[in-house]
Amino acid sequence: THFLDTAHLLCPLPVLKARKTLSSMQTGEELTVIATDPMAQIDIPHMCQEDGHSLVSQTAHADVLTFVIRCGDHKNVE
């Protein structure tokens, strides 16, 4: 499992960093992303849908959002 801490970064940085990390991962590997920007609740699921990744879980605890993303076959995404 890969881990990405984007706490205290504002939109669009959490999505851009997640996308960059996912691009170097193998299909089926999982990435856990930590974010504090409320927009990530919209942006990260949207990125997963656009890029062919699976959003395994999305949780919120206090101001911290945690996303678990299963890497899709992004090699077909331009």
Instruction: Provide the 10 A C-beta neighbour count for residue 13.
Output: 14
Residues 40, 44: Cα–Cα separation, whole Å: 5
Distance between CA 40 and CA 25 in Å, rounded? 21
* pLDDT at 22 > cutoff 90: yes
What confidence tier does 73 reach under pLDDT thresholds 50, 70, 90?
confident
Active-site annotation holder among 11, 13, 34, 39: 11
Contact 31, 44 (CB under 8 A): no
- Per the annotation, the verdict on 71 as an active-site residue is no
Enter the pTM of the model.
Answer: 0.92
Do 51 and 43 touch, CB atoms closer than 8 A?
A: no
